[in-house]
Amino acid sequence: MTGKIADSSPDSRPGKSARVLEPLLQGVSRRTLALLGVLLAALLIAPWLVSDYLITVLIVILYLAFTGQAWNIMMGFAGQLSLGHAIYAGLGAYIAALLFARFGVAPWLGFLVVMPVAAACGAIIGFLAFRFGVAGVYFAILTIAFAEFARIGFDHLAIVNASAGLFLPVAQYAHNDLWHLRGDPTMFYYVILAATVIAFLFCRALLMSRVGYFWLAIREDEQAARATGVDTFRYKMSAVMISAAVTSFGGVFYAFFYNNLFPEQVFNISRSIEIILGPIIGGLGTLFGPILGAFVLTGLAETLNAAMAAFGFDLPGAKQVFYGICLLFVVIALPEGIWPWLARRIGVTERLR
């Protein structure tokens, strides 16, 4: 632990704007800022440099980075393993899509509706789990159960067309319509980039706040935290609800980018696993881990595809086998994730503890 809990408490500092910026920049070396700046710049100008195919790949990467960060709030910060996060993304996707398809409601307004619903869903799961003392693996299985419940439920829900799928009306892309999120991939790229950056800053702000410290305490040793008077129930609930609400935006994005939703795919457990692979591989509980993880995993998948194509190797399933082997290597060799190891190498430290 940093031992700085006392003076970093926002209540003891003057000035609201100072209060916002200082926690974000506190303890961040100039080198780190420079590297982050370079990365951001590269991502900003990417659409002008790369092919449309790569833009699509980057959109997938950023989507996973975004949802990974959201999940990381709950797991990496507060230590609650959720294996059913697809339910929040799915709810976000379906509600926003339905509002748009039926009533023409813009996705940004739709998100205002989605956010409390997702948070409420998280609250229910959290409440049930924490009040009844469900933790660890049992909690994880509980989240899977809820996601499966949603999947089967939506598969029979007539208002969203059940398993026949919900299709969003797709108009010709004469121009980009940011308000209705209709347009070409480049627009979506910037939207998800902005979302990822905002989520990154938001996570940083959370970590540096009171809530963040309490979360870390709960993650490290919940009993001890409770013993020192931390209301663990309240903070665990807030972690779940915040995580759920943020994830749901990813779902809204997904719905408007892909324009068709099937419960079987949207709430599938493989989606939940997809969301969590990035943060675990990248580095649980770190800020940059989920982002790095998303880049590594998707980059790995696409590189394997390209390599196999280059060798004329056309065997369905082979790519996934290599992918699995790579995952094995990473999890065995770098138990903390790639980012902590990489960070040490390039001289960047994330001051979390």
Torsion angle (degrees, nearest 10) of CA 203, 207, 210, 213: 140
CA distances from 19 to 11, 12, 73, 352 (A): 9, 10, 21, 19
Q: Compute the least distance from the CB of residue 31 to other proteins, in Å.
A: 27
Q: Compute the least distance from the CB of residue 251 to other proteins, in Å.
A: 14
CA distances from 351 to 24, 231, 320, 333 (A): 11, 24, 36, 23
CA distances from 337 to 1, 26, 234, 329, 340 (A): 20, 24, 29, 11, 6
- Taking CB under 8 A as the rule, does residue 146 contact other proteins? yes
With CB under 8 A as the contact rule, the residue among 87, 89, 96, 140 that binds other proteins is: 140
Residues of this chain, 42-81, that bind other proteins according to CB under 8 A = 49-57, 60, 75, 81
CA 95 centroid distance within chain:
19
- Taking CB under 8 A as the rule, does residue 144 contact other proteins? yes
Q: What is the DSSP string of 112-156?
A: HHHHHHHHHHHHHHHHHHHHTT--HHHHHHHHHHHHHHHHHHHTT
Residues sharing a CB contact under 8 Å with residue 154, sequence separation 6 or more, in sequence order = 90, 94, 160, 162, 263, 266, 267
- Taking CB under 8 A as the rule, does residue 222 contact other proteins? no
Residues of this chain, 197-216, that bind other proteins according to CB under 8 A = none
Q: Compute the least distance from the CB of residue 277 to other proteins, in Å.
A: 7
- Taking CB under 8 A as the rule, does residue 128 contact other proteins? yes
- Taking CB under 8 A as the rule, does residue 265 contact other proteins? yes
Nearest to 189 by CA among 37, 48, 39: 48
- Taking CB under 8 A as the rule, does residue 132 contact other proteins? yes
- Taking CB under 8 A as the rule, does residue 162 contact other proteins? yes
Residues of this chain, 179-198, that bind other proteins according to CB under 8 A = 184-185
Considering only the stretches 1-9, 155-163, 201-209, 222-230, report the one whose residues sit in contact with other proteins under the rule CB under 8 A: 155-163
Residue whose token pair is 């006392």: 6
CA 249 centroid distance within chain:
10
With CB under 8 A as the contact rule, the residue among 331, 347, 349, 351 that binds other proteins is: 331
- Taking CB under 8 A as the rule, does residue 41 contact other proteins? no
Residues of this chain, 7-26, that bind other proteins according to CB under 8 A = none
- Taking CB under 8 A as the rule, does residue 306 contact other proteins? yes
Nearest to 254 by CA among 101, 89, 55, 121: 89
Q: Nearer to other proteins by C-beta: 151 or 204?
A: 151
- Taking CB under 8 A as the rule, does residue 264 contact other proteins? yes
Q: Compute the least distance from the CB of residue 156 to other proteins, in Å.
A: 6
Q: Compute the least distance from the CB of residue 127 to other proteins, in Å.
A: 10
Q: Compute the least distance from the CB of residue 185 to other proteins, in Å.
A: 8
Size of the site for other proteins (CB under 8 A): 85
**With contact defined as beta carbons under 8 Å apart, do 317 and 273 qualify?**
no
Considering only the stretches 12-20, 27-35, 129-137, 227-235, report the one whose residues sit in contact with other proteins under the rule CB under 8 A: 129-137
353 three-state secondary structure: coil
Residues of this chain, 87-126, that bind other proteins according to CB under 8 A = none
- Taking CB under 8 A as the rule, does residue 149 contact other proteins? yes
How far is it, in rounded angstroms, from Cα 77 to Cα 55?
31
